[in-house]
């Protein structure tokens, strides 16, 4: 669990040998990266990493990692180079950049699916909808299942990301505006595709 990350890493870090590398993989970095960094011996290198995929992945070819404020150290550099040699895509970011991006990528996405689930259960109590399930909704249902099975982590992201409240408020505002079908537009779909598909210029 995200809430246990700091305690576990601090305990492990204090017991590690000199010139070793501690890697933390939490999906939230505010209050975690800096705290761990300041609580382990200087002789231990620390890397705050966020793999943007689940544990079911068998190899990391073309899989994305966010390296958060990586220290320039021989073990850190060697580890990141090894990931890249295996085909991984490494993006470096600050804590603030990471959590702001994750408010869009994780908070909004998860919250939209959570609210969809709540709305569906309120809109219809009928069973037997599986017979009407489209392939598109089947994919959405798998995402909902993943959220359900990882609820503690999902809830921690919603409650601990400093940008989460603003993200949810914007989604709620847009949803209210879209109740009138006249306000539903195609352009935001195109804009979202551009935002998520085009790499940054940095």
Supply the pLDDT for residue 201. 63
Describe the crossing of helices 164-177 and 151-160 by its angle, rounded to 10 degrees.
Answer: 90
Instruction: Summarize pLDDT for 77-96 with one digit per residue, the tens.
Output: 999 999 999 999 999 999 99
Query: Are 103 and 181 members of one domain?
Result: yes
Supply the pLDDT for residue 10. 94
DSSP classification of residue 106: I
Supply the pLDDT for residue 117. 96
Query: Are 26 and 53 members of one domain?
Result: yes
* CATH value at residue 38: 3.40.50.720
Supply the pLDDT for residue 18. 94
DSSP classification of residue 17: P
Phi then psi for 15, rounded to 5 degrees? -100, -5
Write down the pTM of the prediction: 0.90
Q: Of 160, 182, 178, give the one whose Cα is nearest residue 170.
A: 178
The rounded Cα 157 to chain-centroid distance in angstroms is 8
Query: Are 73 and 101 members of one domain?
Result: no
Query: Are 89 and 16 members of one domain?
Result: yes
* In-domain check, residue 37: yes
Residues of the chain with pLDDT under 50: none
Last residue within a domain, chosen from 93, 110, 128? 93
Supply the pLDDT for residue 3. 79
How many distinct structural domains can be found in the chain? 2
Query: Are 83 and 108 members of one domain?
Result: no
Query: Are 86 and 142 members of one domain?
Result: no
Burial class of residue 139, CB neighbours in 10 A (0-12, 13-18, 19+): exposed
Spatial contact of 72 and 96, defined as CB atoms under 8 Å apart: no
Query: Are 70 and 128 members of one domain?
Result: no
Structure token digits, residue 63: 């899989």
- Per the structure, the complete domain to which residue 121 belongs is given by 97-197
* In-domain check, residue 183: yes
* In-domain check, residue 202: no
Supply the pLDDT for residue 156. 95
Query: Are 71 and 83 members of one domain?
Result: yes
């Amino acid at each position: 669990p995200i809430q246990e990350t700091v305690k576990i890493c601090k305990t492990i870090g204090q017991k590690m040998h000199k010139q070793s590398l501690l890697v933390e993989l939490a999906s939230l970095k505010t209050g975690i990266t800096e705290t761990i960094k300041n609580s382990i011996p200087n002789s231990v290198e620390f890397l705050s990493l966020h793999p943007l995929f689940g544990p079911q992945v068998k190899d990391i070819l073309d899989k994305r990692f966010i390296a958060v404020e990586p220290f320039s150290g021989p073990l850190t550099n060697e580890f990141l180079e090894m990931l890249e040699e295996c085909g991984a895509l490494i993006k470096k970011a600050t804590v603030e950049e990471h959590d702001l991006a994750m408010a869009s990528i994780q908070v909004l996405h998860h919250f939209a699916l959570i609210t969809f689930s709540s709305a569906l259960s309120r809109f219809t109590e009928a069973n037997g909808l599986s017979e009407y399930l489209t392939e598109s909704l089947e994919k959405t249902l798998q995402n909902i299942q993943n959220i359900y099975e990882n609820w503690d982590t999902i809830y921690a992201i919603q409650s601990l990301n400093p940008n989460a409240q603003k993200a949810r408020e914007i989604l709620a505002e847009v949803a209210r505006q879209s109740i009138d079908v006249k306000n539903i537009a195609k352009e935001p779909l195109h804009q979202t595709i551009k935002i998520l598909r085009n790499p940054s210029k940095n």
